[in-house]
Chain A
Amino acid sequence: MAGSGSIWRRALIVGLIAGVVVLYLTTVGIVLAFAERSFLTGVTSMGRLILAIPPLAAGFVVGSRSGSVGARLAAGLLAGAVSGAILALSLLFASAVDIRGVLIRVSAPLIAFVAWDQEAVTGATINLALAAGLGLAGAGLRVLPPRFRVPLMAAVIGVVIMSLLERFLRPRLTELDFTDVARFLYQGGGLTIPAAVLTFVVVAIGAVAWSPVKAGARRSLAGADPGQRSTIRAVLIVLAIATVLYLPEVVGSFFSQVLVSVGLYVLLGLGLNIVVGYAGLLDLGYVAFFAVGSYLTALLTSPLSSLGFGWPFWLALPVVILGAAITGLLIGAPVLRLRGDYLAIVTLGFGEIARLLFLSDALKPWLGGTQGILGIPDLFGVPRIEVPILGVISGPELTYYPLVLFCILAIFVAHRLKYSRTGRAWNAMREDEDVAEATGISTINYKLLAFAMGAAVGCLGGAVFATHLESVFPGTFNILVSITVLSIVILGGMGSIPGVVLGSLALIGLPELLREFAEFKLLVYGGVLVLMMILRPEGLLPDRARQLELHEAEEETGPDSGPPLTAASAGTPIGHGESP
């Protein structure tokens, strides 16, 4: 026992953590909030799913330790049981003593729900047994060889995602006259059993087929001559364009609106990515450029503004970009000598100054103060346009299409800059400013250039935003925008262009898709960011992803992900080889 102590101690610790997480989720109210939200119709609810995940994850984590299969399974069972025990004991305690005065969410319905509507003791026993079983299942999943584990996990996750999407898919399918499909998939607010089985099977088969298909595709791509390769690329590009063109049609008008928000943040993210990701200048006042883009557009295009020019958007745009770039230089110039934390604090101040200037009474005759500027015309000056293939475009789609165009343009510019003399100079400056200077890079010029380029790209977002809302108000441009954009860049991976797109989808699009969690949005948001920083600090799609992908080909010839025994034995010098 003493020899193989490490795995048991680990099981205890992980189990304790899982138990605390369960307790936290319960007392914070998220479990009861989803007690009525069906996960699988007639089987179980989202609330139960939320309670099940921590013990399952604990078993999975513990199961990755070295040791015999039996020991790992037992450790998983133990970890699950520990987390279950915590919940069970808390349940007994809460049903014996009224703790609502301290934890207001611990209501009678919650206690009844957690106790499966049974006596406290019976309920506690059920929870303990279930959690232990889930821990065992988690460890069992980890013990399975990857060729079974991966499809199984993918299938389970697929089912959960399908169920989560109920609020979005069911109404949309009904709208699109797929009522039968909607009825087959969802009933009573949850995924039906046949649909769950179907999803499970389809995803599992897909996951099994995926790696040979991928390997095959790579092989045939490697064997293809340049002509074939460019054909493949052309087909992919056409497919991508078609997807982008028809997306608003498919997702409906509400989600087109969401896509517009995502697109705006993609533009902002790409701009900030140049400043922070490429050049390493931590700018916490990035919202200033967003505001400048919006206000310049408003001033130039709105007939109601102090200037009253009433220019069409496309005439104003070059002036807006130029103006934002100059603002970038103006903000960049005083902070040239500052580094790191100091730069962050000063730019934070600049962001606030910008907001207060737009809000100020002194500038009210020009910028409108709290009333902002109204009467900004549409992008095309008309509410609806007929386009040959797409038909009539109106509402958010009218913003969506030009926005996509801007995003593609910004991605193109960001990509070209990244792999150029300029991009390298920025990267060098990010890595070591003094050495970059001594190597011949004028760090002053390149810093200013980074601020100007970042502002020019980001102001596009502001310009589109202003025309989309047809008005601008200073309240929009608060520090939360800066923080969100920075989070997008960090979540996606500093300096990574696909990372910005994925980060925007995850931080802007996903919360809209999962609106029912809105009450707990910040909780999830914070939790996800903390987890990310622990598990994957380089971001979701880090800059070097392409590189890693290239190396993946070599790894695949070796044993998949390495047998846990050898992998972990290096970390635990004592123990696993000993016989009792």
Chain B
Amino acid sequence: MSSPFTAPSADDTVLDPGGERGILLEARAVTKRFEGLVANRDIDFDIPRHSIVSIIGPNGAGKTTFFNQLSGIFQPTSGSIVFDGVSLVGLAPHDIAELGIARTYQNIRLFSAMTVVANVMVGRHVRMKSQWFDAILGHPGERNEEELAHQRARELLEMVGVRRRYEDDLAKNLPYGDQRRLELARALASDPKLLLLDEPTAGMNPGETRQMTDLIARLRRELQLTILLIEHDMKVVMGISERITVLDYGEKIAEGTPAEIRANPRVIEAYLGKQAHA
């Protein structure tokens, strides 16, 4: 069931700065059925605080379905998901975002006709309080909050590496790599505790992929984040995750450190077929 947290690898010395170990997200026996098709079956899954963990698996293994249950887009058919002491089952996506889970998307989904900086400020929405009447009345607190949000958005854009001159351009006009980074900045703007990244390096060349994985590791360090990755690219996952969970046909078939996963015959079989293993 719940596996003990393994010691961090050598290159992750800044792990666990607060000294608080423990589980940030705990999923138990999560099952999702779509009219007879079982997309997830009895999945137990833990995310330790301040770790980077990954879910991998072949296409159609149920990774994104599981992800969507964490962010509230789907409700599990059965099972429980507890995040930071709060059950996520039955909550709307926007409530879950407010609790501190932010995500990105496999196929980039930006607010394309809004400016780059506005996209990030939308991400900040849950941490802002002003209502429509504050805006109409020009409440000083509202102006101040806007100013701070704008400032924070610019900081985040700089952190993820979107150039300053793009700030007031429409999101849809950004180059591909910058769109991915912008999506990341939007997710970070809500000060999440848990960041869900759905194939963050999809469509990137090796150079960009390396930049992105470095950025992910840096974000965890600097923002004390916990990160869950879904990836297709084994190399990305092996490099930065402490733990890896492997799904195949909706079921968890393996869990462990990258080294353990690499050596696991079931994983190799699921990924490469039987011949490769032979």
Contact = CB atoms under 8 A, between A and B. Distances in A.
Interface string A411-423: 0110011011111
A431 interface: yes
Given A427-B111, A442-B92, A443-B94, A436 B135 contact: no
B122 A416 contact: no
Nearest to B71: A438
Contacts of A442: 92, 94
A419 B147 CA distance: 12
Contacts of A427: 111, 113-114, 118, 122
Contacts of A435: 105, 109, 111
- B interface, how many residues as a size bin? 35 or more
The contact size tier of chain A is 20 to 34
A437 B136 contact: no
A242 B51 CA distance: 65
Interface of B: 71-73, 92-94, 97-98, 102-103, 105, 109-114, 118, 121-123, 125-126, 128, 130-132, 134-136, 138, 142, 145-146, 149, 168, 170, 186, 190
Contacts of B142: 420-421
Given A427-B113, A428-B122, 14 more contacts: A413-B136, A419-B146, A420-B130, A421-B142, A424-B118, A428-B111, A428-B125, A431-B111, A432-B110, A434-B73, A434-B93, A438-B103, A439-B102, A440-B125
Interface of A: 412-413, 416-417, 419-425, 427-428, 430-432, 434-443, 449, 453, 544, 547
A412 B138 CA distance: 11
Contact of A437 (B93, B105, B112, B131): B93
7 contacts: A416-B136, A420-B132, A436-B111, A438-B73, A442-B94, A453-B132, A544-B170
A412 B135 CA distance: 11
A441 B132 contact: no
Contacts of B109: 432, 434-435
B132 A440 contact: no
Contacts of A419: 135, 146
B149 to A, nearest CB: 8
A432 B111 contact: yes
A417 B111 contact: no
Contacts of A421: 125, 128, 130, 135, 142, 145-146, 149
A439 B192 CA distance: 11
A416 B130 CA distance: 12
Contacts of A449: 132
B146 A420 contact: yes
A25 B128 CA distance: 58
B92 to A, nearest CB: 7
A439 B118 contact: no
8 A-B pairs with least C-beta separation = A420-B135, A440-B97, A440-B126, A431-B111, A422-B132, A438-B93, A428-B122, A437-B93
A421 B134 CA distance: 10
A417 B71 contact: no
Nearest to B68: A438
Contacts of A422: 130-132, 135
Contacts of B72: 438
Nearest to A445: B94
Task: Name the residue in A419, A420, A443, A547 with the highest tally of chain B Cβ atoms < 10 Å from its Cβ.
Answer: A420
Contact of B125 (A417, A425, A431): A425
Contacts of A424: 114, 118, 121-122, 125
B29 to A, nearest CB: 24
Nearest to A543: B113
A547 B116 CA distance: 13
A282 to B, nearest CB: 16
Contacts of B126: 439-440
